[in-house]
Amino acid sequence: MNDHFISTHPKLVQCPICKGWILECHVGGLRKRVEPMELSFNQELAFRIEGRAIFQSVGSYEPNLIHRNVWHINNPDSRAKVFASHSCSTPEIFEPMPLFDLPRYIDTEGVPF
């Protein structure tokens, strides 16, 4: 069923929340953020226990990512790389910039018009 939804090649970008480097792409029509480090089998098990989604690369030239399931684990592909979904923590104290605290007047003194 995922063959009919858009999948894009992962691109290295910065996370908008934690500002760390991540891979961002579409997998089965949904935008996914993935950690850029390849996982070992033990790391994959630890992340599965933690409840994070696991992805696998497909293709050798400009690979796409797919969800990794039991079939992929039982039939390993030596070229495939395994990645975990990105998880970042937001700061405990978040102070947004004021959006509506604008000056009540605009000082145009000295402006040539």
Host domain of residue 51 = 2-84
Is the residue at 100 inside a domain?
A: no
Select from 40, 39, 8, 38 the least CA-distant residue to 24.
Answer: 8
Any bridge partners for residue 12, and if so which?
Answer: 23
Number of domains forming the structure of the chain: 1
Instruction: State both tokens at 72.
Output: 């992929």
Is the residue at 89 inside a domain?
A: no
Select from 28, 29, 5, 12 the least CA-distant residue to 86.
Answer: 12
d(Cα 64, Cα 7) in Å, to the nearest integer?
A: 7
Is the residue at 24 inside a domain?
A: yes
The structure's pTM equals 0.67
Is the residue at 110 inside a domain?
A: no
pLDDT in tens, the chain (113 residues): 455 677 888 999 998 888 888 899 998 888 999 998 888 889 988 988 988 999 988 877 778 888 888 777 767 777 788 899 998 864 444 444 444 444 555 566 665 65
